[in-house]
Amino acid sequence: MGDSCSAFLPLLLLLLSASLVASDSIQDSFYKCLSVNSQISFPLSTSFFTPNISAFTSILQSSAQNLRCLVPSVPKPELIFTPLNESHVQAAVICSKQLGIQLRVRSGGHDYEGLSYMSQVETPFVVVDLSKLRSIDVDIEDNSSWVQAGATVGEVYYRISEKSKTHGFPAGLCTSLGIGGHITGGAYGSMMRRYGLGADNVLDARIVDANGRILDRESMGEDLFWAIRGGGGASFGIILSWKLKLVPVPATVTVFTVPKTLEQGATKILYKWQQVADKLDEDLFIRVIINVASAAAKGERTVQTSYNALFLGGVDRLLKVMSESFPELGLQRKDCTEMSWIESVLYIAGYPSSTPPAVLLQGKSLFKNFFKAKSDFVREPIPETGLEGLWKRLLEEESPLMIWNPYGGMMSKIPESEIPFPHRNGTLFKIQYLTSWQDADKDIAAKHIDWIRRLYNYMASYVSLFPRTAYVNYRDLDLGMNKDGRNTSFIQASGWGNKYFKNNFNRLGF
């Protein structure tokens, strides 16, 4: 054993020193190139992080949401660059091209497969982390806001609410999402049935293209402006900032969460929800969060379905809507709380009640774990027998989670080809499947990933088919990916492109 190790030592050292030289020269070359190409100089110590300095790991981990993508076996970047202004981003693009190094762009770090800070292949790459570009300029008179890519959606919501109690923006429910990456895939939230997606409410954008030029809507043209609003992150240049269209929100909204376990008739109520959720009053968004909880009987587990809702109006009108359209849930006045829209943002995101809205300025996520997720779109209600099979599978897993998001309303009125996000009329709801764990061990990860793949197979007969569609913001590399990061044909890519974008993939590809 000792012998065989020492026999490999010289070769190992040789390889190690060769790779050190290579990394050193990448870092040096990149630094020199950035200095030449940036219009404004940048402080090395606070914007250029190489693996040999102690801050590297904490910067890498800072916004990375999926711990599965940070384990030691996953390739790490040669360096992380945190631009301080737009010209630094231009310089990073020019230099990566000149030096032939791949770039990964990170805004909020919530990519499900960690694509903004890791690589699937052993190719040297650099992370451009936009977390220092996060200014937000709200113009209430103009009903708009310019927001830099590194701002979180929570900061955007807070800055809007600071200026007006009756304006909002319809993007994600999780407040630590980076607006930069989030809108590139669609961006849905609790106002989607009333106003559509974040990407449906973009007025303009500033991007850096592959040649390092800054373009806005006028200079990029309508084709590229179409593609960046939902065509997927990192595909069509680097978004520097979005100009968002603000939407009206009432001064008082109402929220509720009503849990129902199997013992409380969850199956029948969920069957009914599937028939009404997309047809309800457009001001009402009721999603269903499904997990496994302790049952009333000691030591037993049960499936719990929680109806978590935002209503854009007061409790009196909500109770009327519910008694007419979904009495099966048995919603009562005591289940409901009236509040301002910004308070509802905190409620839906899961902050403890009475958390001050200014917490959103911290731009932090509430939790991090190791996870794998997948998605589906449903066009016909899943029968009760199908639900029962689903419960059986959920009960086999330690921490399973499903979130069912209702469609209809504005989502059905916007044509499929309006922006690349295609899941519109005819979609009843979207399913997100998720399993999470707390251990870096690869066998544990493999066990959970196997479980979610089997669940996904089981669901095939109940969800959209030909293609079996998926939400690009819930990136799922099981559906396919570029094998070497570069040479994938359009035909190969349509294997997953059609799932994320349906027919819009043809326009994205040409």
Residues near ligand FAD (CB under 6 A): 65, 104-112, 115-116, 130, 149, 172-174, 177-178, 180-182, 184-189, 233-234, 238-239, 473
Burial class (CB in 10 A: 0-12, 13-18, 19+), 34: buried
The least distance separating ligand FAD from the CB of residue 106, rounded to whole angstroms, comes to: 4
Which residue number, 129 or 281, has a Cβ lying nearer to ligand FAD? 129
Which residue number, 118 or 266, has a Cβ lying nearer to ligand FAD? 118
The least distance separating ligand FAD from the CB of residue 191, rounded to whole angstroms, comes to: 11
The least distance separating ligand FAD from the CB of residue 302, rounded to whole angstroms, comes to: 25
Q: What would the two tokens of residue 79 be?
A: 């360096």
Residue at shortest CB range from ligand FAD:
233
Which residue number, 108 or 381, has a Cβ lying nearer to ligand FAD? 108
Strands 336-339 and 253-261: antiparallel
The least distance separating ligand FAD from the CB of residue 265, rounded to whole angstroms, comes to: 28
Which residue type, as a one-letter code, is found at position 403?
Answer: I
The least distance separating ligand FAD from the CB of residue 24, rounded to whole angstroms, comes to: 26
The least distance separating ligand FAD from the CB of residue 388, rounded to whole angstroms, comes to: 28
Q: Which residues contact 189 (CB under 8 A, 6 or more apart)?
A: 153, 170, 171, 172, 173, 198
Tell me the sheet residues that pair with 282: none
| Alpha carbon separation from 476 to 106, 427, 481, 500 (Å, rounded) | 18, 20, 9, 10
The C-alpha atoms of residue 85 and residue 41 are separated, in whole angstroms, by: 10
- CB contact at 8 A, 92 and 80: no
Which residue number, 240 or 322, has a Cβ lying nearer to ligand FAD? 240
The least distance separating ligand FAD from the CB of residue 238, rounded to whole angstroms, comes to: 4
The least distance separating ligand FAD from the CB of residue 401, rounded to whole angstroms, comes to: 11
Which residue number, 179 or 266, has a Cβ lying nearer to ligand FAD? 179
Which residue number, 219 or 275, has a Cβ lying nearer to ligand FAD? 219
| Phi then psi dihedrals of residue 386, to 5 deg | -65, -40
The C-alpha atoms of residue 158 and residue 140 are separated, in whole angstroms, by: 14
Which residue number, 381 or 420, has a Cβ lying nearer to ligand FAD? 420
The least distance separating ligand FAD from the CB of residue 441, rounded to whole angstroms, comes to: 22
DSSP 322: H
The C-alpha atoms of residue 509 and residue 115 are separated, in whole angstroms, by: 20
Phi-psi region of 162 (alpha: psi -120 to 50; beta: other; left: phi over 0): alpha
Which residue number, 180 or 381, has a Cβ lying nearer to ligand FAD? 180
Which residue number, 172 or 408, has a Cβ lying nearer to ligand FAD? 172
The least distance separating ligand FAD from the CB of residue 171, rounded to whole angstroms, comes to: 7
Which residue number, 266 or 378, has a Cβ lying nearer to ligand FAD? 378
The C-alpha atoms of residue 214 and residue 86 are separated, in whole angstroms, by: 8
The least distance separating ligand FAD from the CB of residue 47, rounded to whole angstroms, comes to: 17
The C-alpha atoms of residue 354 and residue 365 are separated, in whole angstroms, by: 18
The C-alpha atoms of residue 491 and residue 510 are separated, in whole angstroms, by: 12
The least distance separating ligand FAD from the CB of residue 120, rounded to whole angstroms, comes to: 12
With residue 269 as reference, give the H or E element that holds it: helix 266-276
DSSP per residue over 89-135, as a string? HHHHHHHHHHHT-EEEEESS---TT-TTT--SSS--EEEEE-TT---
The least distance separating ligand FAD from the CB of residue 90, rounded to whole angstroms, comes to: 13
Question: Cα dihedral angle (255, 260, 266, 269), rounded to 10 degrees?
Answer: -30
Which residue number, 149 or 220, has a Cβ lying nearer to ligand FAD? 149
The C-alpha atoms of residue 475 and residue 477 are separated, in whole angstroms, by: 6
- Give Cα 310 distance to the centre of its chain: 20
| Alpha carbon separation from 429 to 78, 112, 175, 197, 262 (Å, rounded) | 41, 20, 22, 14, 21
Which residue number, 241 or 302, has a Cβ lying nearer to ligand FAD? 241
Which residue number, 90 or 184, has a Cβ lying nearer to ligand FAD? 184
DSSP 171: -
- CB contact at 8 A, 501 and 231: yes
